[in-house]
Amino acid sequence: MKDSQEYIDKKALFDQMITVYGRNVVIEMLNDKTVHFHKIHLSKSNRQEGAILEILDLANRRDIEVKLQSKEQLSRISKNSKQDQGVAADIMASHYLDEKEIGRTLPEGYRLLALDGIQNPQNLGMIIRSAAAGNIDGIILPKDNSAKLSPLVIKASAGTLFKINIFYTKTLAPVLDRLSNEGAEIYALSSHAKEDIYSVNTGKRSIFVLGNENEGVSDEVETMCTALVAIPMQRGVESLNVAVTAALIAFMRS
């Protein structure tokens, strides 16, 4: 029983951990006292100068463990040997939660964004930033067929990645099905929709689905939606960037 609980605790720890890489990214994170580190990894091949010394100094001041790794080990940790610059860090993201936590951590009424196949890290980062700044309670982010939470996403989000609940799931359809059965209304954004998003009376629990940059919302997800809605466009403009659409939704009145 003890071993089982230790496994559960360890899995929960790693589920909330995001690995970032790159010297400047790690220095920026170290200078933000609201970001909690689990461990910093440095390649043994790094020269003890410049940014590396700054990382060591900042880690020492914050009492963060630094572990030396071989180049091969560091590559396995960062999963990006071409860009990690011999530096990676495990960051504890307290707002990165399993989708099962939606009912436990959110108020009775909520507004969520659900992302269906967003591939561009910059788009993902800007969506997170708008959601954090606006009237959104969280983001549902699938692990499959989606941009990962990477240094590029952190940079595009301007640090807001750590300020809003992001609920992870393997794929989007099952969680939308569950939340729909629990009373949520699900709206897919589509340029072909006949309904205007500003004229729809959204429910107490509303989820807005944003689709892939090129193909839009997938057929599987679309079948689960309460309605398809569109941003009204003028002068023959067909569509907006998905991150711009997210910003408009985030600042809609509920």
Residue where a domain terminates, one of 46, 73, 92: 92
Low-confidence ranges of the chain (pLDDT < 70): 1-3, 5-14, 254
Together in a domain, 148 and 216? yes
Together in a domain, 184 and 240? yes
Q: What is the pLDDT of residue 7?
A: 56
By three-state DSSP, how is residue 79 classified? coil
Residue where a domain terminates, one of 92, 112, 131: 92
Together in a domain, 101 and 212? yes
Together in a domain, 160 and 222? yes
CATH number of the domain encompassing residue 130: 3.40.1280.10
Together in a domain, 126 and 47? no
d(CA 193, CA 201): 16
Together in a domain, 85 and 147? no
Together in a domain, 172 and 79? no
Together in a domain, 210 and 139? yes
pTM of the model: 0.82
Q: What is the pLDDT of residue 254?
A: 65
Together in a domain, 119 and 217? yes
Structure tokens at 50: 């410049």
CATH number of the domain encompassing residue 59: 3.30.1330.30
Cα-based distances in Å from 251 to 113, 158, 198, 248: 12, 18, 11, 6
d(CA 108, CA 41): 41
Question: Which residues form the domain of 71?
Answer: 2-92
Structure tokens at 223: 């079948």
Among the listed residues 139, 194, 201, 199, the one whose alpha carbon sits nearest the alpha carbon of residue 168: 139
Q: Indicate the number of domains in the chain.
A: 2
Among the listed residues 233, 98, 107, the one whose alpha carbon sits nearest the alpha carbon of residue 168: 98
d(CA 178, CA 4): 28
**What are the two backbone dihedrals, phi and then psi, of residue 107, each rounded to the nearest 5 degrees?**
-65, 170
Q: Is the dihedral of CA 22, 26, 27, 32 positive or negative?
A: positive
Together in a domain, 138 and 155? yes
By three-state DSSP, how is residue 226 classified? coil
Q: For residue 95, what are the contacts with CB-CB under 8 A and spacing of at least 6?
A: 162, 163, 164, 165, 166
